[in-house]
Structure 1
Amino acid sequence: MGIFEGLRVVEFASGMAGPLAGMMLADNGAEVIKVEPRGGDSARATAGFQMWNRGKKSVVLDLVDNARDAQRALDLANSADVLIEDYGHALPEGLSFDRLHESNVGLVHCSIRGFSIDSLDRTYASDEGVVAARSGRYLGLDGMSGSDADYAVHRPVFVAPPIGSYSSAMLAVMGISGALMQRESSGVGMAIDTSILDGLGGATMRLPYKREGDKVVPASTERRTSLMWRGILMTFMAAECADGRYILMCARTDKHFRNWMLATGLTAQAADPRYSGAPLNFDCEEDFIELEQSLRRAMKLKTQEEWMRIFTTEYEVGADPVLTSSEFMSHPQMVETGRVVCLDSPEHGEVVQVGPIAQFSETPSVIDTPAPALGEHQALLDEVGSARANQNGNRTDSDVQSSLPFEGITILELATFFATPAAATMLAENGARVIKVEPLEGDQFRRVGLEFAQMVHGKESIAIDLKSSEGRGILEKLIAMSDVVLTNFRRGPASRLGIDYASVKRINPNAVFVYGASFGSVGPDADRPAFHSTPHALSGGAILQAGRGNPPVDDSYGDPCGAMGAMAAIAMGLLARKRQGRAQYVESTMLCSTAYLHSMNLVDYVDRPEKNEVDSQQHGFGPLYRLYSCKTGWIFISALQDEEWTALAKVLRKLEWLESREFASAKSRSENSDRLAEAIGAAMRERTAGEWEKIFIEAGVPAAVADEGYQFEEFLLENGLVEPETHAQFGPYFRTRPRVRFSSAPNHRGPACSLGEQTRAILHEVGYSDLEVENLLESNVVVADDVVPAVGGESTAAADSSSASSDGKGRVS
């Protein structure tokens, strides 16, 4: 039985975000009815549609001009357990949560907006590129420019992966799962609100939100001219090999960097005092340049395959081969973990696509039905009336619980660095109690400062020596009281520390065990460490982001996007336990989460459209979805739909484009994309970005100024989406708002925890006396925030904490 078996989901959504969320519910048993306008979902022309809408039923309704269709939509909503919508203010009033709740009190109503800021949602399109441009997300992207040696800090750079759309879908699934859990007890549904902007904020790394007075300091500000930052970028080098292929390095730690120098034969430089502080400290720029050039020359002496063998078998060096999207889908770790599926489509034949977001041992996903044809299930509208309306009886608003969906859930976090701990952070925002178990000297990620503070809001920290028998005894008591045991330790270390599935199940068979893996628990790379760059390199993302003809570039979304996938998996695992009474093993992977992010380019069939490609200057995907330089400033335009293209041509007074052989059809525009981009670019230079934005929006062309003068963090501050915080350890900073809002209760706003801050309280809670606690402290079994451990060996857990995939800079598996 699937997690969502027996539930009806009605989806008023198009594009990627809402449909991807609906797809995950369909993969796990829900009946998902997709409501499309007369012309169909705008994404039907894309390959991604075939994945994002598999397993669904399609009906066509005109919600604007047809009263009968509007009533049918209302009947569908009243028959539903879950409604997903991304229409925003275009959704008819009758389908709002307040109206539907009167007749269907059990309905879980999930809205995915562009910004979840009313004034902006009324003005701007809920489009990934528009939201990213308007929020300053395209600015300050140090090191991501494949076309500019100065790292393009002076202009916006298009971000290729749809991070906001993917992440908002994961947030929606988490919210829906939590709301359904609460409904199992109360019978009452609730409204859920999230946005593409929330997704962007939740899945963007390197944002410490440093505060100076009432101002936020953008993360890129201090990096532009720093030799230290250039040294960091060098450790993440996209290194060309003898065969013309690339390896994306991740040699950020001193150990990995030294090993890289030795592996490449730079033994003299490794012993040279000038490089004793490398990779972060150099006395002069000349020394830095000399070393970087030496590494690049050395990497060209062997092929990609030869270097990867050396780095994985002879030397321990963080590195991953840069693959194409097609190579990624045949990667053994994708195939052997069951993350590649093939569906037989009546329209397209065999369609290869990414499989389930997570593996569930007791409630496995079932993916066996392709995306529907437009209106394929129109007949079911005649079967839907108001029979299921008010399906939860006579409950009223007074029955609604004033609590967050995950209140009462305890998550035991045995994980380090970023991806897996960040998943627990987002659940803590929504009511869960998270107990973070740390080694005596603390999670290694603590040393990054403010970035870590954002990771431990609302958590409780207990520091334990897990290799001591007393520490293991404490751990067993914690496992016994937990609803979820969450770990990213690989198989060997997990087994040695007693945090493997078999050990946890023996102690607490009712606990949901979640493994936030890098590569997965099976396959040839199961025991390899992964880094933030790993899924970016393997998925084709490094090639895509760089732009046509440019060398691959690094990016850091692998960790936070992995966290989003793990977060959704945890929530679904908890819902399965609530609905079916069975705990189980749950496994998410960074690779699969990244595959969902890049799913547009990872769906393959005979007649599929061309894959997305960023132009050589990293402006965007083709002439109608890209950044343009204006008389002053930059603007982003999204005019992919026929009506938007027509409106654009009219605004630019180029009506001849609508009839010309070069531009009249979508195919001809694609074939002549460079000429069309040049023509539009010339017109853009006639006005300022602000002037064009106003003109385009009034004409119905989605657009936004992309360089308002503030970066992403500054946009959040200006719009009240961060709030000032001061912490005794971390100092002054801004904390971000929760990424999902529920109508049932305000989100949890707990402070960041210091190392061992709750050690004493937790030990007392699980039955230790005052004397026993003091003995544990004195013998260095545990550390409390007011007790410094004795000088002597490294924490017993520390040796194994490195087994969790990391690069020493907070990049996690």
Structure 2
Amino acid sequence: MSAFAGVRIVDFTQGLAGPMAAMLMGDFEADIIKVEPPQGDRMKDHPGYLTWNRNKRLLTLDLATPAGIAKALELIALADVAIFDHAPGKLEALGLDAQTIKEAHPHLIHAWMPPYGTTGSWSQLPPHHSLLTALSGVAFRQGSYSDQPIHLILPLCHYGQAVMGAAAISAALLERHRSGKGQAVTVSGLHGVSEVTGPVRVLADPPLPRGAPLGASPSYRLYECGDGQWFFLATLFVAFYHRAIQALGLGDHWETFASDPLLAREALKAVFKTRPRAEWLELLQANGVPCAPVGPREPWFAGDAVAAGEARVTLEHPELGPVHMPNVPSRLSVTPGSVRHLAKPLNGHAWPERPTPQPTGANDGPQPLSGIKVLDLGTVIAGAHAGGVLANLGADVIKIEPIEGDPFRSNGGGFMAYSRGKRGLGIDLKQPAAREMFFDLVRGADVILDNYRFGVRERLGIHYAALKAINPRIVSCSINAYGDKGARAVLPGFDPLLQAEGGMMAAQGGEGEPILHTIPVNDVATAGVVAFSIIAALNARERTGEGQEISTSLMAQSLTFQQAEVTTYEGRPANDVGAQDCLGVRALHRYYNCADGWVAVVCETREESDGVCGVLGVPLPDNALTASRDGHLARALELAFATRIRDGVLGELLAQGVPCAPVLRGYEAFESEWLWENDFFEVWRHPRLGDMLSVRAFADFARGSSGFQRPTPDLGQHSGELLEEMGYSPVKIAELLAAGAIFGPAANLAHLRDGGTALFTQ
């Protein structure tokens, strides 16, 4: 039995986010009935439909009729979870809103996943990723050559909403084990944006510059080789960069390169142009330098690396033949997931009657993961952000760092975002006394999380078998770059390497040069999947009483955030591709520059197309809906938009029923009334750096608060506090401090004295 065996879900959602959230739980044996309207899911012809709705049973209901509503209510009464994605106000009109449903079914998890926000006029728009990225400022975050927004070929924020939907629903189910009570859960498109992009701004500092399409740093950048082929050099850390410079025979220039990045970039560009890519990759990889070739996603998905990682499965479709799709994105050792079948019709009755959970009288926690203690050894983005997601959902997350700190540690917005909400413990795990103290922490913990390279846990003596011997209920999750199977398992890896090999860079660049996604796609995907997987394992522990090991990788997530794009069968339609400084995919699915700002337009019907052309006085061609992004129609619309004031033309287009929105720059997003109305941002104070402005939460829960309860910790900030909580005596703490087994800021440790002498390390 898998983690959600016995959990019943009725899925009323369409498209990507809601169906994929349910799919992730269905992979772990949740019993899902997907309710579709008579005309079917709006994306029923999209290849992704096959993946997002696997392991489900289908039922057609017309919710516009009393009979359809009555049948829907019968299903809801028998379910544990009901998932909806209607725009604000639509569920109330149907009598399916959380307040109405919860009065009749207090055990139910009512999950609402609206495409934008929960309030405001922009939240009524039909779901389109390019409109969501426009309204949230994401389109202006992608690196570009020109001062313009960028259309993202991959719907990253929709994928993020899906993963956070699964995590939040799972967290509510876990809380129900404690209280016996259901609750309303909301994971909007803006919550998806928050998990994927997580902007943080130190209010006293100017905004950070935008990224560069090829990478801003010479050590972490795309390079073109002598044969016109591209690769990514991922020497994020100084040791790797130095190793690369030495391998290239440029060691005499190391100090100059380190002090002059522009000179280093131009020198490396010239060097890599002298030989074919295969030769450079062979040389660099032989010297342990992280790098990867840029290629299309199709051979990557069909290739040996994905097969060795067991990340691909095949199911037989009665009409399409073999359908290849990504496997379950994480592996749970005791309650593994599986891909069992494609969506199939519901035959016979849905579910039998059964007793519903009853309130236990237990004290409700302030957040769904209240009482869960996580030991977070994660670093950089993927591991650190996974712990941050768990902290946002209420877990007590302890960020454990060595004396040199997380390699990503800085005062910048990235580190502040991904490690917010935690407590900091400074510890040298190489010392036996420190390991013993760590094992004492393990005895009282629920989860341990790391993203060490393959084999490091064993060398430190903190692998799962050792942890299980201390605490059989521990859930241990380890992330690495390429999984724990196959020849690549031991290799170091970074997000852009999987962007390169996994086809993301080539897809965004189209026929031109590849494009580095400014958003660390595979890192944030991994963080969300890890958080969901850990919560799934905690749910399983409620039934089995035992913990288990979780394994996943950046490679697996190179497929998760392009599930639809890699789903393959004979005759599948081609995926959209981008271009240099891509503005859209078609003339009527594109960004346009007005006299005072940019607008986003997405038309899918002839009526919507007629509305755009009518407002702008542009003739409507017969091929308007398929016209290219830079053809005659696009040029005519560019000229027409260029003379108009943004807010004025948006008002006219909306009056004609045209889906459109302003494309906000970063500073505009921080000041957007609609985003503040939807509680997207919050201001919080870091004790050392001052006021911060960042996203608030990755989900909202009716019975409890949402969001971070702590600022980002300084290195070892809470070491003394944590040891005191563990019951360590002042003498024992002093010994550990004196030996350097633990450390932290002097001001936070000065009260831990032995014989009147403060013992601490800086």
What TM-score results when the alignment is normalised by the length of structure 1? 0.85
Counterpart of 1:311 in structure 2: which amino acid?
L
What letter is aligned with 1:599?
Q
Q: Which residue of 2 aligns with 1:244?
A: 228
Q: Which AA in structure 2 matches 1:94?
A: G
Structure 1 equivalent of residue 78 of structure 2: 79
Q: Deviation of residue 753 (structure 1)?
A: 2.1
Corresponding residue for residue 335 of structure 2: 363
Query: What amino acid is the match of 2:714?
Result: S
* CA distance in structure 2 between the aligned counterparts of 1:601 and 1:709, rounded to whole angstroms: 29
Q: How does 1:297-316 map to 2 (within 5 A)?
A: 297-314=270-287, 316=288
| Matched residues, number | 743
Q: Secondary structure at the match of 1:249?
A: strand
| Inter-partner Cα distance in structure 2 for 1:334 and 1:177 | 28
Deviation of the 1:675 alpha carbon: 4.7
Partner residue, 2:113? 112
Following superposition, the deviation at residue 14 of structure 1 comes to 1.4
2:586 and 2:269 map into 1 onto residues whose CA distance is 32
Q: Distance in 2 between matches of 1:167 and 1:513?
A: 23
Tell me if structure 2 keeps the 8 A contact 1:333–1:520.
no
Residues 177-256 of structure 1 correspond to what in structure 2 (within 5 A)?
Answer: 177-204=170-197, 207-212=199-204, 217-220=206-209, 232-256=216-240
Per-residue CA deviation, residues 597-649 of structure 1 (Å, 9 max, x unaligned), is 11221111112111111245401223332212335432112223566556656
SS at match of 1:305: helix
Give the Cα–Cα distance (whole angstroms) in 2 for the partners of residues 333 and 202 of structure 1: 28
Which has the larger displacement, 113-122 or 335-344? 113-122
Q: Please list, as runs of the form range in 1=range in 2, the aligned pairs for 1:461-472 lying within 5 A after superposition.
A: 461-472=424-435
CA distance in 2, matches of 1:756, 1:708: 36
Amino acid at match of 2:61: L
8 Å contact 1:479–1:504 — kept in the other structure?
A: yes
| Per-residue deviation, residues 489-535 of structure 1 (Å, max 9, x unmatched) | 12322111122111111211111111122211122211111123122
SS of structure 2 residue aligned to 1:342 = strand
- The residue that corresponds to 1:7 in the other structure is 7
Q: 1:323 to 1:652 in 2, by over 3 A?
A: same
Aligned to 2:378: 415
After TM superposition, give the deviation of residue 394 of structure 1 in Å.
7.1
Residue equivalent to 1:163: 156
Given the superposition, is the C-alpha separation of residues 686 and 40 from structure 1 closer, same or farther in structure 2, using an over 3 Å criterion?
Answer: farther
Q: Which range is displaced more, 338-347 or 711-720?
A: 711-720
Q: CA deviation at 1:466?
A: 0.9
Q: Give the 3-state SS of the residue equivalent to 2:186 in structure 1.
A: strand
Equivalent residue, structure 2, for 1:698:
655
Could you tell me which residue of structure 2 aligns to residue 69 of structure 1? 68
Alpha-carbon spacing, 1:33–1:683, altered in 2? closer, same or farther (3 Å): farther
- 2:389 — aligned with what? 426
Is the Cα contact below 8 Å between 2:215 and 2:516 reproduced in 1? no
* Paired position in structure 2 for 1:445: 408
Tell me by how many angstroms 1:772 deviates. 1.0
Residue of structure 1 equivalent to 2:752: none
Say which SS state the counterpart of residue 516 (structure 1) adopts. strand
Q: CA deviation at 1:455?
A: 3.1
Is the CA contact (8 Å cut-off) linking 2:38 and 2:62 kept in structure 1?
A: yes
Relative distance call for 1:349 and 1:134 in structure 2 (3 A) is same
Identity of aligned residues (%): 27
- CA distance in 2: counterparts of 1:7 and 1:718, whole angstroms: 36
Structure 1's unaligned 5+ residue stretches are 146-150, 280-287, 790-813
Distance 1:644 1:62 in 2: 25
Deviation per residue, 1:270-295 (Å, 9 max, x gap): 16x6545133xxxxxxxx3x543332
Per-residue CA distance 1:698-737 (angstroms, 9 max, x = gap):
3333211114683544448755533333333333322431
Secondary structure in 2 matching 1:164: helix
Kept in 2, the 8 Å contact 1:569–1:588? The answer is no
Q: Structure 1 CA distance, aligned partners of 2:378 and 2:388?
A: 12
2:260 equivalent in structure 1: 278
Aligned-pair distance for 1:371? 3.4
C-alpha displacement of 1:433 = 1.1
Q: Which amino acid aligns with 1:553?
A: L
Is residue 553 of structure 2 the alignment partner of residue 589 of structure 1?
yes
Structure 1 residue 598 corresponds to structure 2 residue 551: no
C-alpha contact 2:141 2:666 (8 A) present in aligned 1: no
SS at match of 2:232: strand
User: Contact (CA 8 Å) 1:332, 1:524: kept in 2 or not?
Assistant: no
Q: Which amino acid aligns with 1:517?
A: N
Question: Is the 2:83–2:110 Cα contact (8 Å) retained in structure 1?
Answer: yes
Letter in 2 for 1:308: L
Q: Which residue of 2 aligns with 1:19?
A: 19
1:553-612, Cα deviation, whole Å (9 max, x unpaired) = 353333222211111111111111113333211112222223111122111111211111
Shift of 1:235: 2.8
**SS state at 1:308 partner:** helix
Decide whether aligned partners of structure 1 residues 254 and 588 sit closer, same or farther in structure 2, where only a CA change above 3 A counts.
closer
Displacement, 1:685?
4.3
Partners of 2:12 and 2:36 within 8 A in 1: yes
> How far, CA to CA, are the matches of 1:254 and 1:181 in structure 2?
42
Letter in 1 for 2:224: E
**Inter-CA distance 534–715: structure 2 relative to 1 (3 Å threshold):** farther
**Deviation of the 1:328 alpha carbon:** 1.8
How big is the shift at 1:655?
Answer: 8.7
Structure 1 residues 233 and 510: alpha-carbon distance in aligned structure 2, compared to 1, 3 A threshold: same
Task: Find the aligned partners of 2:589 and 2:718 in 1 and give their Cα distance.
Answer: 50
Aligned counterparts of 2:631 and 2:300: Cα–Cα separation in 1:
29
The answer (yes or no) to whether the contact 2:508–2:514 under 8 Å persists in 1 is no
Q: Distance in 1 between matches of 2:190 and 2:584?
A: 19
After superposition, the Cα gap between the structure-2 partners of 1:304 and 1:707, relative to the gap in structure 1 and judged at 3 Å, is same
Checking the alignment, whether the CA contact within 8 Å between 2:55 and 2:340 is kept in structure 1 is yes
- The 1-side partners of 2:384 and 2:509 are apart by 29
Q: 1:740 to 1:472 in 2, by over 3 A?
A: same
> Equivalent residue for 2:753?
none
1:251 Cα deviation from its structure 2 partner = 2.9
TM-score (norm: length of structure 2):
0.90
Query: How do residues 753-772 of structure 1 correspond to structure 2 at under 5 angstroms?
Result: 753-772=713-732
What is the match of residue 136 of structure 1?
A: 137
RMSD of aligned Cα (Å): 2.9
1:652-731 equivalences in 2 (<5 Å) = 657=621, 660=622, 662-663=623-624, 669=626, 674-678=631-635, 680-685=637-642, 687-707=644-664, 710-715=667-672, 719=677, 721-731=680-690
> Contact (CA 8 Å) 2:229, 2:277: kept in 1 or not?
yes
SS in 2 for 1:562: helix
* Equivalent residue number for residue 437 of structure 2: 474
What corresponds to 1:609 in structure 2?
573
